[in-house]
Every structure is written in structure tokens, then in C-alpha cells.
Amino acid sequence: MTSKNSQFRIYDPTQVDSFQLPVLIDGIDTVKSYRQLHNEETWFWTLLENDTFLEGENILVQVVGQSPLKQPPSQFVFHVPDNEGLLAYNAIGPFQYWTTTKETGERCVVALQNSKKGGYWLSLFTHYCTADQEKDISWVNRLKLSLLLEGF
């Protein structure tokens, strides 16, 4: 009889600087960024400026792993809609996005992007809402790869 040893490791999140992210965020103010190692994936998430103060809003999640993801990890308490989104492009490649406007005038964008770089997949999930009508919600169009991603 043989037994396989399987290891399951999750490390506490580590705060990182914005230049240490796989994708650089431009056009929106960030609050803090984190990195957390999971078995086959590395999760990065950035808390974005949040004038709505609703938990789960205003976050960009970046997952580097062996396969593309269709939904963000469940701990981030938002999901990508099931229906087809609008197609757009940024420096990373094509992505889908969905926009909504609530009765209160609050505008929201949810975006999903998967890109293969080297032997790894980069999955990006954006959830951003603002009540400020002057704020640009199209900053997802300006995302670009960091040189640090080449190290994965």
C-alpha cells in the first residue's frame, strides 16, 4: 500500500507595493495591495478608492495560476455576470466588461480578463462603483503588464 502526501498551503496575505503587482493600475487611486500564496496560484488584490463605502466593491483581483478562471475566488464576494459582456482591449489583450447604473446614480463596472503569459494564466477581475458622476470608470482600458510578471 502506498499513500500520496498532499500538501495544502495558504499563507497570510502580505501587503505589497503597487509596482509589485503583475498588472499595473493607472487612472484610479489605490488604497492597499496584497499578495497571498495558495497551492497552485498566487492571488493579488488591490483595494481601490471607495466613495460608496460598500464592502466588496472597488477591488481589482489578479490571479496567476495554471489555468484561467471564470469567477474570482469566493473570498472576494463578487461575481462576474453569466451573460456576455462588451468586448474591449487594453495593453494586456481583450477583456469583457459589464456596466450598470443604479437608481441612485451610482455607476459600476465589472470586468473579466484572462491572458496567458509564458506558462501561466493571468486572470483579472474588477469590481468598481462610484457615486461621483465626474469619475472615469473606463480606467480598466489602461491596465498594463508589469515587468515583474516576466518572473512567473
Q: Calculate the average pLDDT of the chain.
A: 87
| 7 burial via Cβ count (<10 Å: 0-12, 13-18, 19+) | exposed
Residue 10 corresponds to which cell in the numbers above? Answer: 495558504
Q: Global pTM?
A: 0.88
* Burial track 85-113 (b if 16+ CB lie within 10 A, e otherwise): beeeebebeebbbeeeeeeeebbbbbbbb
pLDDT of residue 11: 66
Residue range 3-18: mean pLDDT, rounded: 71
